Amino acid sequence: MTTETAVSTPLLTAADLAFLRRPLHGFLSVAAGPLPPQPRPVWFEATEAGTIQLFTYPDAPKVRRLRRDPRASIVVAAPVGEQEQWISVAGRVTIESEGAHELLDRLAARYWDLDDPGHAADLATMRSENWARIVIRPESVRRATG
């Protein structure tokens, strides 16, 4: 049995941040998209400031949608085999041109074994591309724990 709670605070708890710092995929949904929303799996980072950030191509459809309506949410869940736990963060976003490559490097090291030649080559290719950084500033946080 799980318990779901809604929190009306822009801040994530220490327990939330610990969970979000694990190498889990997030599922991002943006406003003004297709109906029903179509979440996409993403790499993400929870910051000390309590924001969630990810990188993407600056001309991606989600960026165009976010420029029209800057609301998004991300849901992160524990993997199968673990006690049920998930966090949903919703809020307004900003699209930043600075810091995307540094975020790419941190997230690649978190999600990939960079000693693997294939992953190292993929990262080198990705470093040569142009990226934007999406920052979600939480307005609501919902969570379920087992």
Label residue 5 by pLDDT band (50, 70, 90).
Answer: low
* No. of helices (H) and no. of strands (E), the chain: 4, 8
DSSP 80: T
Question: What is the pTM for the complete model shown?
Answer: 0.89
Query: What confidence tens digit (pLDDT) does each residue in 54-99 have?
Result: 999 999 999 999 999 999 999 999 999 999 999 999 999 999 999 9
- What is the CATH architecture of 3-145? Roll (2.30)
Sequence-distant (6+) residues with CB within 8 A of 9 are 138, 141
